[in-house]
Amino acid sequence: LLGMGEIADVVKVVVNGVEIPQGQSGKNMTATGWFNLVTPGTRNGAFNLDFVDASGHPLGDPYGSMALLSVVVPNQVSSAQSLPTIDVLLMGLLLERFDASGASLGEAFTNSPPWVLLDVLRRSGWLTTEVDLVSFAAAGAYCDAQIATTDLYGNAISIPRFQCNLVIATRRSAAEVAKGIRKGSSLMLRYGQSGLLELRVENTLALQQPVLPSGSNSTATLDGGWPAYEFSDGSASYST
């Protein structure tokens, strides 16, 4: 079982340190072993045809909304005396994304932190009508922006500013998962003036708050941005 929900694809399967190829119909692969994606986790799922009755009818459930992988390996890789260690590199869940106007872009694989966080919120009971989707799209554009860096060999490359590849292997609270995503990508949640839940990028004051916020008593910018509140506007005999 790879996960709950539909995934994009399986990239690589490694069993006890040995990479296993994907199964090919009509080819004898007993020497190398093979893996097959039984179902990527679609709503209706699919039966695992490794288990059938005498008449060839599949046994068990069709694994609806669960991504399932079937792996067969030779004894040289894993004997029947112990359970093998299986590592899977995959393109994970298909997540719904939204554009700058809040319109849906459909579901696709993405490791952009705002969309991963939104999926966690929706799985926890939040509705899209309770969330400022435009703010999530703006945060997504910031996280996806390419920045210059170097790879392990010193070559110049461009990569997204933030990415989130998340695997939840043990029971965690939604708050704990959301906190980890936020802290790893400099994101913060707050309620906006409309009462909707907003996502903001923690940044310099100039980028984070370029306009005077409603209710602020500030009369001048600070480092290119507007404070939400000041203890003194500069007219007092003391400074803060």
> What CA–CA distance (Å, rounded) separates 10 from 37?
8
What would the pLDDT profile of 92-107 be if each residue is shown by its tens digit? 899 999 999 999 999 9
Q: Taking all residues of the chain, what is their mean pLDDT, rounded to a whole number?
A: 91
160-219 residue pLDDT tens: 999 999 888 889 999 999 999 999 999 999 998 899 999 999 988 888 888 888 888 888
DSSP H/E element including 167: none
Question: What pLDDT is recorded for position 209?
Answer: 85
- 112 contacts 25 by C-beta, under 8 angstroms: no
Whether residue 185 contacts residue 143, with contact meaning beta carbons closer than 8 Å, is answered with yes
| Structure tokens given for 132 | 């400022």
The secondary structure element, H or E, covering residue 137 is helix 133-144
Quick: pLDDT tens for 2-22.
988 899 999 999 999 999 999
Task: Output 61 or 115, whichever has higher pLDDT.
Answer: 115
pLDDT at 125: 95
In the predicted structure, residue 108 carries a pLDDT above the cut 80: yes
Q: How confident is the model at residue 239 (pLDDT cuts 50, 70, 90)?
A: very low
Whether pLDDT at 238 is above 70: no
What is the model's pLDDT at position 186? 94
**pLDDT > 70 in the chain, percent:** 96
Tens-digit pLDDT profile for residues 16-69:
999 999 999 889 999 999 999 999 999 999 998 888 888 989 888 889 999 999
Residue 137 has pLDDT above 90, yes or no: yes
For the stretch 65-82, pLDDT in tens is 999 999 999 999 988 788
Distances, alpha carbon 127 to alpha carbons 119, 131, 135, in Å? 10, 7, 15
